[in-house]
């Protein structure tokens, strides 16, 4: 959500940004909101004038009465009544205009960073850097669900009977590996100075609309029937929501948090859920990181956040690359975004395992997260988020890259303390 003052003074820049995101259908909204904003400011100005005139004439009535000028007093009373009626009409218009303006402003995309490559969709995202040497072994790597089943580690059939498609049971060593990765990621981020947090797994609608666009909300969020609560699609939602309607002292910034949570997603759209594997599902767990900082620091923190994920995967010998999202692939609130992709030796390509986003002051503006400087001035914070690790997608990369020719899976040294000292997993089938 951009500043209405910026839009008012730079309509062409806002329109150009909309074109860069290939959302030309939103171009008329700029002129529409400018006209509504003009009407709103005129309404407020007229209301302010009426209040002043009403107060002035009301005071004159007493003087007329004291002097016995009843006719003048009656005329003044009629004028005050007329002002009161018009003022009431204007005051009734104000919230209507505010709602219309806010609704449009919530759909106009944020101004993207000048470094973002221009492209229509994710097929035009740009590779930035590769880390580690991708390897394709000289033996066949089974589908990830089959690897898990060789350890008696995956049961989607039972989960289908219990909850339907898009759910799963993880069992035995695979379940333990899942928890080990989450625990290792937690400690990895704590060691990097982040404060660990377990947040609420449900949030109210005002937080939902504060952290994401309407399109994302419709495609992702599960609503609790009969209550103003939604299941979180990722813990960054409740983590950023933690600061709603707050004023943060500048000297306490940045706020760097890492959080664990389950995540719930509709996966509504053409891709849907994955029937056989666990790549795209309705429920999973994730370790997340978020930063609330001063505007001048957000670019620096953006680079630190995605680097954390790269370093985590490389510590487990998993090759990764960073991919910069092009303009058309950026969600409306995002200023800039990198995907981290892990190497899949089975598919002989990279696939997404995490996403790092700088949202500028868009979320802070919606959620009223402000910073107070030493001189007392207030401004909106910048917010960023990034995936530390999200099993079971991470498990796919882990199993494929650590699978041995005999079907066993090597446990990297950093994970062994979380796996009871095991150096490898031995299949049961």
Do residues 34 and 128 share a domain?
A: no
Do residues 276 and 129 share a domain?
A: yes
Q: What residues have CB less than 8 Å from 256, skipping those under 6 apart?
A: 193, 194, 195, 289, 290, 291
Average pLDDT over residues 333-359: 96
Residue 269: which pLDDT band, with cuts at 50, 70 and 90?
low
pLDDT digits (tens, 9 = 90+) for 278-290: 988 999 999 999 9
Residue 101: inside a domain: yes
Residue 112: inside a domain: no
Residue 114: inside a domain: no
Q: Name the residue range of residue 100's domain.
A: 4-105
The pLDDT assigned to 276 comes to 81
Do residues 173 and 41 share a domain?
A: no
What are 275's two structure tokens?
């029937």
Q: Which of 105, 131, 158 is the last residue of a domain?
A: 105
Average pLDDT over residues 365-374: 96
The rounded distance, in Å, linking the Cα atoms of 186 and 266 is 26
Do residues 180 and 75 share a domain?
A: no
Do residues 152 and 254 share a domain?
A: yes
Average pLDDT over residues 209-226: 86
Do residues 350 and 375 share a domain?
A: yes
Residue 115: inside a domain: no
The rounded distance, in Å, linking the Cα atoms of 267 and 162 is 19
Nearest to 202 by CA among 242, 235, 232: 232
Residue 220: which pLDDT band, with cuts at 50, 70 and 90?
confident
Do residues 133 and 252 share a domain?
A: yes
- For the domain that residue 56 is a member of, what is the CATH number? 1.10.287.40
Q: Which of 75, 105, 135 is the last residue of a domain?
A: 105
Residue 239: inside a domain: yes
Mean pLDDT of the chain: 94
Nearest to 385 by CA among 325, 324, 316, 338: 338
How many structural domains is the chain composed of? 2
Residue 111: inside a domain: no
The pLDDT assigned to 168 comes to 94
Do residues 154 and 225 share a domain?
A: yes
pLDDT digits (tens, 9 = 90+) for 47-74: 999 999 988 998 888 887 888 888 888 8
- What's the distance, Cα to Cα, between the start and end of the chain in Å? 53
| DSSP class per residue in 166-235 | T--EE-HHHHHHHHHHHHHHHHHHHHTTPEEE---SEE-HHHHHHHS-HHHHHHHPEEPTTSS-EE-SSH
Average pLDDT over residues 346-363: 96
Q: State the helix-helix crossing angle for 172-191 and 393-402, rounded to 10 degrees.
A: 100
Give SS3 for 422: coil
The pLDDT of residue 272 is above 70: no
The pLDDT of residue 429 is above 80: no
Do residues 135 and 96 share a domain?
A: no
Residue 147: inside a domain: yes
Q: What residues have CB less than 8 Å from 205, skipping those under 6 apart?
A: 228, 230
Do residues 173 and 258 share a domain?
A: yes
Average pLDDT over residues 13-29: 97
The pLDDT assigned to 74 comes to 85
- For the domain that residue 174 is a member of, what is the CATH number? 3.30.930.10
Do residues 169 and 37 share a domain?
A: no
Q: Which of 44, 76, 105 is the last residue of a domain?
A: 105
The pLDDT of residue 177 is above 60: yes
Residue 223: inside a domain: yes
Do residues 229 and 369 share a domain?
A: yes
């Amino acid at each position: 959500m951009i500043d209405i003052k910026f839009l008012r003074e730079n309509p062409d820049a806002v329109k150009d940004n909309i074109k860069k995101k290939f959302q030309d259908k939103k171009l008329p909204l700029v002129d529409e909101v400018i006209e509504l904003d003009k009407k709103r400011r005129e309404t407020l100005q007229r209301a302010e004038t009426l209040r002043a005139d009403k107060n002035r004439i009301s005071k004159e009535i007493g003087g007329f009465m004291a002097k016995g000028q009843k006719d003048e007093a009656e005329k003044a009373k009629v004028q005050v009544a007329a002002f009161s009626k018009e003022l009431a009409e204007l005051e009734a218009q104000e919230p209507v205009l505010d709602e219309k303006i806010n609704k449009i402003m919530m759909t106009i995309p944020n101004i993207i960073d000048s470094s973002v490559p221009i492209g229509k969709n994710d097929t035009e995202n740009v590779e930035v850097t590769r880390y580690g040497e991708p390897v394709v072994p000289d033996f066949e790597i089974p589908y990830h669900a089959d690897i898990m089943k060789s350890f008696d580690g995956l049961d989607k059939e039972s989960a289908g009977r219990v909850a339907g498609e898009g759910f799963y049971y993880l069992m035995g060593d695979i379940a333990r590996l899942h928890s080990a990765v989450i625990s290792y990621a937690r400690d990895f981020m704590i060691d990097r100075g982040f404060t660990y947090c377990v947040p609420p797994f449900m949030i109210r609608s005002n937080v939902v609309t504060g952290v994401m666009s309407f399109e994302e909300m419709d495609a992702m969020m599960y609503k609790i029937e009969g209550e103003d609560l939604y299941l979180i699609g990722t813990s960054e939602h409740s983590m950023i929501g933690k600061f709603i309607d707050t004023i943060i002292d500048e000297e306490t910034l940045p706020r760097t948090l890492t959080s664990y949570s389950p995540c719930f997603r509709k996966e509504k759209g053409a891709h849907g859920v994955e029937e056989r594997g666990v790549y795209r599902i309705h429920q999973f767990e994730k370790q997340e990181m978020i930063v609330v900082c001063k505007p001048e620091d957000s670019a620096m923190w953006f680079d630190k956040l995605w680097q954390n994920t790269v370093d985590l995967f490389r510590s487990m010998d998993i090759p990764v690359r960073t991919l910069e999202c092009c303009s058309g692939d950026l969600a409306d609130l995002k200023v800039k975004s990198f995907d981290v992709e892990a190497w899949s030796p089975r598919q002989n390509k990279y696939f997404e395992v995490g996403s790092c986003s700088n949202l500028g002051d868009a979320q802070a503006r919606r959620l009223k997260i402000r910073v107070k400087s030493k001189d007392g001035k207030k401004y909106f914070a910048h917010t960023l988020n990034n995936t530390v690790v999200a099993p079971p997608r991470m498990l796919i990369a882990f199993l494929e890259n650590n699978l041995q020719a005999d079907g066993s899976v090597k446990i990297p040294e950093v994970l062994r303390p979380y796996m009871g000292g095991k150096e490898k997993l031995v299949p049961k089938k």
